[in-house]
Amino acid sequence: MSIEQFIDNEVKSNDVVLFMKGTPQFPQCGFSGQVVQILDHVGVGYKGLNVLESAELRNGIKEYSNWPTIPQLYVKGEFIGGCDIIREMFQAGELQQLFADKGVTLNAAASA
């Protein structure tokens, strides 16, 4: 399986996927950490893929999305954006609405 096939499979077989530096339990960059905090706060289940484990994955996801930075969030197969976009969407309430529109189940989200 090529790296592109691997990425495509992960994006299409998981409702929410975060390509990040580190893991959800141990983010290894501030931007990845911010997105993890937002997703955890919203209460969405997601799969985190650590791009630091593989240069092939780190480069492959940038080519796949045509987006130069990590982290990258995908919801139901659609590329949503990186840290700045996710943070802005969250602050505006758009991220929560996106999950609702896409039919992604949220756990009881923590109160703001």
The conformation of residue 72, written as its DSSP 8-state character, comes to E
Domain 3-102 homologous superfamily, CATH = Glutaredoxin (3.40.30.10)
Known binding-site positions for [2Fe-2S] cluster:
29
- Binding annotation: 29
| Cross-sheet strand order for the sheet of 72-75 | 47-50, 16-20, 72-75, 78-81
- Residues 69-108 pLDDT 10s: 999 999 999 999 999 999 999 999 999 999 999 999 888 5
The predicted-structure confidence for 13-70, as pLDDT tens digits, reads as follows: 999 999 999 999 999 999 999 999 999 999 999 999 999 999 999 999 999 999 999 9
Domain-wise residue ranges, the chain: 3-102
For the chain, the farthest-separated pair of C-alpha atoms sits apart, in whole angstroms, at 43
